[in-house]
Structure 1
Amino acid sequence: MVIPTGGIPWLTIVLILPLLGVAAVLLAHESLSRPVALVVSVLTLLVSLPLWFGFNNATAGMQFVEKHLWIDSPAIHYALGVDGISMPLVLLTTFLTPLCILVSWTSIQSRMKEFLISLLVMETATIGVFAALDFVLFYVFWETMLIPMYLLIGVWGGPNRVYAAIKFFLYTLAGSILLLVAILVLFFEGGRTFDILALTHASYAPSLQSLLFWAFFAAFAVKVPMFPFHTWLPDAHVEAPTAGSIILASVLLKMGTYGFLRFSLPMLPDASVAFTPVIMTLSVIAIIYGAYMALAQTDMKKLIAYSSVSHMGFVTLGIFALNAQGIEGAVLQMINHGITTGALFMCVGIIYERTHSRQIADNGGLANVMPKYATFFVIFALSSIGLPGMNSFVGEFFVLIGTFAWSKLTGTLAALGIILAAVYMLYLVQRMIYG
């Protein structure tokens, strides 16, 4: 048993607090359910801060590790830990959950307790995915995440919510089945263990690596989502409530790219190198296709949804550039995209709550009637473009450096996506804020 620094199991506390919040919401009076959920989510954020400030950036390995035997045979452990990839994603999750509760304070009126419980269960499942160091534990959290997200879309979504929820569920479930197959193959071929760190250091035959790579790819590409597995995302975003869109864009999509970084690259290095041209091609297509589709949208949410397809293409591009600059840029882009796109969906939700329309043409001239709102919207839009001085610039810049090192043609095509991003975001700003 490994005890975290200071003897306090910080990760377990962060993981358990939202579940305690579920119990508190169930027991609370209907009128107190919102404040109770908000207090629990803020407390979870505060408890995650010692992890962030106590994290040693000079160490490449796992930190705050906890490991307890869960099941004797086969040996399955309750094992948690974070490194430089997962730590910021855990903090991003704990930061966004209270914001999701706040933006839903007045917009969600029916089945409020169930809505808050779904958000809190989603928080625990997402943190678990990013912190799990045992494959069975990882898979449990990975699958658990499906249920609250399905409910958020299917119960509290728009007119076509059932179609969007089922489409999301089926796409993700199909990928998850192949993920389970890959985990079982790794168990039998990697020394009959589910320990992620041990399996990372095992060696596998090239033919087996290829099969495992594509099994992982099916699960993670759907989550990102990569082209051509992206078709569930616009429907899910349009129909989801504001809180659902924020969690979906800011956190859930990052689970796919996290999977590539945590499993595909370190466990299957030969296959990752061999299939890099395929992934890079799909990433460039996603960048340009997502940007062109965003240009054609009249719905604010759909425009931002397609921009996510384009921006996540930069993340996969950086990951499979297979160099330090590309991967560092990809991780930065994951976090910055989560902040910026979450903020944009929040802005759209604020307007929709007042006008009950997401059409760009119906929401023009906001600078005259909501000047403070307009200022924030412009800032978030410029951040989404990747303007120098904004948070998204550094990540995209590093991704492009890494991509140019791999292929100048690929880097040039990816840079075209940034130009297109400026076109569709400035079009959105011009029509909404000044139109």
Structure 2
Amino acid sequence: MRWLYSTLTWAAQPLLRRKLRRRAVAEPGYAVAVEERFGRYGQPAGSGFVWVHAVSLGETRAAAILLAALRRTLPGMRLLLTHGTATGRAEGAKLLQPGDVQVWQPWDTPAAVQRFLRRFRPALGILMETEVWPNLVAACQRQGIPLTLANARLNDASLRKAQRLGWLARPAYRGLAAVWAQTEADAQRLRALGAPVQGVFGNLKFDVEPDGAQLAQGRAWRATQARPVVLLASSREGEEALWLDVLKQKVAPALTGQAPAAINSEVQWLIVPRHPQRFDAVEQMLRAAGLSVARRSCWQGGLPQADVWLGDSLGEMALYYGLADVALLGGSFAPLGGQNLIEAAACACPVVLGPHTFNFADAAQKACAAGAAQRVVGMAQGVDAACALACDAVTLAAARAAAQGFAQAHRGAAQATADAVRRLLHS
């Protein structure tokens, strides 16, 4: 039945081109090398690559951790790195070494996939976390290219969706050469689709090493501040509005006409939106509410005076977590599954979680059990909990220690995965 899927993906190509043109208006990276997405490349042909596919920013950061272990384990390895989003590709460019190649993931038509595999002839492929494409898997099977799924996760909702499309999903998962899952629960769900799970290694993101210079700078800036700093980290669309509504509700009865931040003068707020194309819109929203805003790109060597600091830079989360006392976890206050809390823990920044953390369910549960995080039912309770923790020096010190201990206790997935890749290559 894959012919039906192939027909649909072929027919959708004009829609994909139109979508890329629209997205390129806000993110010019989507206009780069568009023909690569259809299997047409300017790079010379090659062979023997270790191919890693990291669709977006989060997967690329996980891939960076794995790549460090792979380069130690496979000296001289040549990397073929593919992505689906502009932020992923921009982040991935930082990981390249001489001899490596970076291109877009081919759109999952038989023709584009065949052109991709003929051009680069990888020795092995590693898909990061969730990216399983039926035609890609089938083509790798036919050509004898072991295709694996690393740092694999699958939540209940995704399992149900895959089971409804079992005629398409099951052959794709069965066609993988190996799957290395984050948790045993993930492994069970993946096995239910026929995936060849060969190990449960934990989450690669626990092996992250925060940028030392950024972390030191953030902490040095924090030391200059009299007030605690509370961070809304990697916020998604709608969450800044939820936060703003909470502040408005708190201030309205007694302080009508004043800026919402007046009620929270005991803390300094820092907001870092997840997606760069939203920086301007978030700033406009905050200013329209009467708040003064200072964007990170305009900080002149120190911290400015403003109701809200707006983190409008990429690749500086260690600085922001170093600057913050407590973080509200973006993506968890809207039904989006939550962003990665592990990086915050590695920076010894405790987090307050909203109700939606299905993308990191195991890590969230373990973080709460360890005292590195706490769960709340919504943004109003989250704001109260984060401000209370930030202003309680004794409890905050214990939460910081718990966060760092939690991050250290779950390391090791990167080397375990690299060793498994080496065994598969040499089998």
**Larger proportion of helix:** 1
Which structure's CA Rg is the greater one? 2
For the aligned pair, the TM-score class normalised by the smaller chain equals under 0.3
Normalising to structure 1: TM-score of the pair? 0.25
Query: What's the TM-score once normalised by structure 2's chain length?
Result: 0.26
User: Higher strand fraction: Structure 1 or Structure 2?
Assistant: 2
